[in-house]
């Protein structure tokens, strides 16, 4: 039998984790704490896994440092240079681990283990540089070791069914968020550390004579008249010999908005329709346009009513439809009038999807059809059943159906048109809510088919890589919901500690709390680095774009909950004008973020003062990170509204204050606490 629950609690009270370092296990064996050889073997393996995990943390930091220094080149280095980089990274990781722990023999053993593991991974990723493989291997191995150790620690709760159930539930959440984190780490490394591309679709002028008729569909709802006219004007001027334009005004109630557009269309030979009380929102309007197409039109181009399109757009993209297997072609969505730091941050955060996400998906024929600035084969669309009016992200849902029928998609990484960004933070939240809600709707509808359990019309003919890409895209939205769950759990831990109650996390923690913190902050640095590398922006601007992502965390969490509960939802249009709620109304809409940020910030000093210890400091570090997540919302709202009211300057400064102060307190305590060496872990 393993040591009793009382022994485990005593070890936790002393700040140690059962079973502790290998030397502690041997001492416990001499004292008769271990009942049989099996228990001793399990304990030794667990202690060894803890040490290997800390070796992986050293490996993670060293490999990231090499990425910062040497990842700018995209050429494949000679084989000897790759081996030299690999040797240098693992040697420095071993030296760092040995310096912190004093375990020279273990450092050598782990060096050999990681050499073997990273070598096998390099064989599976032959198109990556050795730097990318080393960093990804450190992330993957370290994350899996952490999960195994957390699972092993659950056995200390075996006698307490309530605590075991709670801790088991959080372990399931840990597994999900770890899988998402590994996937999110894979994407930028797959692009920025790739030395060979196998699926490239450059924009080129194709052979003379292949000019299939294109039908351009422009849906609009309550849009500014001049903006729509600018879009139509750019489409009329396209350099392509064989196309039509169908303008569909979808349920605009104000005659002063749709009547001038109708008149402009009649003057320029554009086919135009005004729909009243028509069902299906945007996808309904697109299905209506599909029924009005010229019978000879083979290709459909979707253009949102705020986009201005380059003259050579069709000439340099349509040629890929010569291949009958290609069902759709997508180009990046880009933006104009980016004339403030706030809009620049949003622009960069949205560019990342096309600069990184779409490029790695394209390598696996798993891209998403994003609607505007995309083209689709008419026959493939009809075979798939048209636009899905049940989903608020009808374009992404359609691309999965098309790929599931054996078609291919092509991503051309060049901008051919620019639209308008959401001008206020409230508008940005509405847009992201719709995207997240649509992602959850797609995951609910296609989870079993994506897992290979679909039958008949529900069966998807997808490769494993395609399935993984769409599963990551669907489950990825739930990362923010898990952040909310962990935030509330951390607040519960603080309350329980103050009341003198024991929590499962306290029972399971110890040295296992440090790796998650390092993984979080290493992930932040890696994401900011990837933003900078892919877009060419400064470090500070990249950090601001990352901050914009964080500010939408609770919005995405709400969308996930809504998507799990409801089956159909209304389409939330993104306004294209600067109209915005008053600062006080907008502040009221941020009440949940403000309350969470305030509670998490207050919990940091409260916990540190109540029970100062290394374990408490690590939990406080998690609290500080979660506080930063929610204070980023008023900070970004200030960037949106600061031009209209000084109220937002106060809100933003408060947000920065409450986010930075707990983080500074936590770092200060870590500096002051004795015994921070890993030798005792």
654: burial class by Cβ within 10 Å (0-12, 13-18, 19+)? Answer: middle
pLDDT at 590: 87
DSSP secondary structure code for residue 354 in this structure: I
**In which residue are the tokens 């040797």 written?**
87
Distance from C-alpha of 310 to C-alpha of 461, rounded to nearest angstrom = 35
How many helical (H) and strand (E) elements, i.e. helices and strands, does the chain have?
A: 25, 10
Whether residue 630 contacts residue 596, with contact meaning beta carbons closer than 8 Å, is answered with yes
pLDDT of residue 38: 60
Q: Which residues pair with 219 in a beta bridge?
A: 248
Angle in degrees, CA 131, 134, 139, rounded to 5: 125
Beta bridge partners of 409: 328
Residue 440 makes CB contacts below 8 A (sequence gap 6+) with 474, 477, 478, 559, 560, 562, 563, 564
Q: Which residues pair with 218 in a beta bridge?
A: 247
Distance CA 188, CA 540 (A): 19
Query: Using CB atoms within 10 A of its CB, is residue 155 exposed (0-12), middle (13-18) or buried (19+)?
Result: middle
Q: Do residues 218 and 265 touch, judged by C-beta distance below 8 A? A: no
Three-state helix/strand/coil letters over 153-166: HHHHHCCCHHHHHH
pTM: 0.88
Residue ranges for the chain with pLDDT beneath 70: 1-42, 72-76, 156-160, 206-208, 502-511, 568-587, 641-681
CA distance 346 to 545: 6
Ranges of each domain in the chain: 5-192, 214-421, 478-680
Identify the residue whose tokens are 């300057």: 649
Residue 429 exposure: Cα atoms within 13 Å on the Cβ side: 21
Residues 437/563, Cβ–Cβ less than 8 Å: yes
Please tell us whether the domain made up of 214-421 is placed in CATH 3.90.550.10. yes
Q: What pLDDT is attached to residue 568?
A: 66
CA angle 233–234–235, rounded 5-degree value:
90
pLDDT in the model for residue 28: 52
pLDDT of 634 reads 86
Residue 663: per-residue pLDDT: 55
């Amino acid at each position: 039998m393993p040591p009793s629950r009382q022994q485990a609690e005593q070890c936790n009270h002393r700040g140690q984790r059962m079973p502790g370092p290998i030397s502690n296990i041997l001492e416990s064996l001499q004292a008769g704490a271990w009942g049989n050889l099996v228990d001793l073997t399990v304990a030794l393996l667990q202690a060894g896994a803890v040490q290997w995990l800390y070796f992986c943390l050293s490996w993670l930091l060293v490999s990231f440092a090499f990425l910062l220094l040497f990842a700018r080149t995209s050429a494949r280095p000679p084989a000897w240079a790759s081996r030299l980089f690999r040797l240098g990274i693992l040697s420095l990781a071993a030296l760092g681990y040995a310096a912190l722990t004093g375990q020279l023999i273990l450092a050598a053993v782990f060096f050999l283990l990681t050499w073997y593991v990273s070598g096998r991974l390099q064989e599976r990723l032959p198109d990556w540089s050795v730097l990318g493989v080393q960093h990804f291997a450190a992330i993957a191995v370290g994350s899996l070791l952490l999960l195994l150790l957390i699972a092993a620690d659950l056995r200390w709760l075996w006698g307490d069914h309530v605590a075991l159930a709670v801790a088991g539930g959080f372990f399931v959440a840990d597994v999900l968020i770890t899988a998402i984190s590994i996937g999110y780490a894979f994407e930028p490394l797959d692009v920025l550390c790739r030395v060979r591309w196998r699926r490239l679709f450059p924009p080129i002028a194709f052979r003379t004579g292949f000019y299939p008729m294109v039908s351009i569909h422009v849906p609009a709802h309550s849009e500014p008249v001049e903006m729509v006219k600018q879009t139509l004007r750019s489409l009329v001027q396209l350099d392509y010999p064989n196309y039509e334009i169908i303008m569909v005004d979808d349920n605009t109630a104000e005659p002063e908005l749709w009547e001038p557009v109708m008149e402009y269309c009649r003057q320029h030979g554009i086919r135009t329709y005004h729909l009243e009380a028509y069902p299906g929102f945007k996808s309904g309007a697109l299905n209506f346009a599909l029924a009005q197409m010229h019978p000879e039109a083979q290709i459909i181009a979707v253009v949102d009513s705020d986009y201005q399109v380059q003259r050579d757009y069709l000439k340099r993209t349509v040629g890929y439809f010569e291949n009958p297997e290609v069902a759709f072609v997508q180009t990046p969505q880009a933006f104009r009038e980016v004339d403030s730091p706030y809009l620049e941050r949003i622009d960069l955060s949205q560019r990342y999807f096309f600069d990184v996400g779409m490029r790695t998906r394209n390598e696996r024929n798993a891209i998403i059809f994003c609607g505007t600035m995309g083209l689709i084969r008419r026959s493939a669309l009809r075979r798939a059943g048209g636009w899905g009016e049940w989903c608020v992200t009808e374009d992404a849902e359609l691309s999965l159906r098309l790929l599931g029928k054996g078609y291919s998609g092509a991503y051309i990484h060049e901008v051919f048109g620019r639209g308008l960004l959401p001008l206020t933070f409230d508008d940005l939240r509405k847009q992201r809510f719709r995207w997240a809600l649509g992602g959850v709707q797609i995951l609910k509808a296609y989870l079993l088919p994506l897992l290979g359990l679909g039958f008949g019309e529900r069966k998807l003919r997808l490769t494993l890589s395609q399935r993984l890409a769409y599963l990551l895209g669907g489950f990825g939205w739930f990362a923010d919901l898990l952040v909310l769950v962990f935030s509330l759990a951390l607040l519960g831990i603080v309350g329980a500690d103050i009341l003198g109650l024991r929590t499962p996390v306290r029972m399971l923690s110890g040295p296992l709390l440090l790796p998650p913190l390092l993984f979080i902050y290493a992930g932040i640095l890696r994401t900011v680095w990837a933003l900078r590398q892919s877009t060419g922006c400064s470090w500070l601007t990249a950090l601001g774009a990352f901050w914009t992502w964080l500010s939408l965390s609770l919005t995405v969490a709400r969308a996930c909950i809504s998507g799990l509960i409801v089956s159909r939802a209304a389409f939330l249009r993104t306004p294209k004008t600067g109209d915005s709620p008053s600062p006080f109304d907008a502040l009221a809409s941020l009440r949940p973020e403000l309350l969470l940020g305030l509670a998490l910030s207050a919990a940091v000093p409260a916990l540190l003062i109540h029970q100062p210890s290394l374990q408490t400091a690590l939990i406080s570090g998690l609290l500080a990170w979660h506080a930063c997540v929610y204070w980023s919302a008023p900070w970004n709202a200030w960037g949106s509204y600061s031009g209209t009211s000084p109220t937002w300057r106060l809100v933003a400064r408060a947000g920065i204050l409450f986010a930075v102060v707990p983080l500074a307190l936590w770092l200060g305590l870590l500096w002051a606490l004795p015994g921070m060496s890993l030798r005792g872990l």
